[in-house]
Amino acid sequence: MIINGPNLNLLGNREQKIYGDKSLDEIEKISKQKSNSLNIDCFFCQSNDEGEIINHIHSVESSYDGLIINPAAFTHTSVALLDALRSINKPKIEIHLSNIYTREEYRKKSITSEGVDGLICGFGSLSYILAIEALSNLIYNK
């Protein structure tokens, strides 16, 4: 499962110098192509609603082999997402399009990363491809 957080539905139009010019639909397409090349089924979703994202995270334990999450702005604020991430025992990777450690001071702290196995940031849409490869390795090459 790949979960995308708030405002990522605006990719391609929103702050292109930071987030790039690819839309979320384009990122979904390349993510599914990469997943297919690794014989992985990929469920890709986006929500601006914290509760909906938490429900998706909860579903990972019973329905998916692993999770890739771009929590977007919730990265820096949501203990609720952290608790949800900690509640599942499947491989989990957090990703970001931009390098959060070169951004505003309040973006340099990822609360949610404390609940995942690894963090990939700063590679634009390639962050998704790298995460898919890493998650596949965590799941199938233990």
Query: Out of 19, 56, 64, 128, which one is annotated catalytic?
Result: 19
Residue 96 annotated in active site: yes
Residue 19 annotated in active site: yes
Please, which contacts does 136-140 make with residues 24 or more away whose CB atoms are closer than 8 Å? 136/38, 136/40, 138/66, 138/91, 138/93, 139/65, 139/66, 139/91
Query: Out of 64, 96, 101, 128, which one is annotated catalytic?
Result: 96
Local structure of 48: helix, strand or coil? coil
Q: What whole-number distance in Å separates Cα of residue 48 and Cα of residue 4?
A: 9
107 and 100 Cβ atoms separated by less than 8 Å: yes
* Catalytic sites, residue numbers: 19, 96
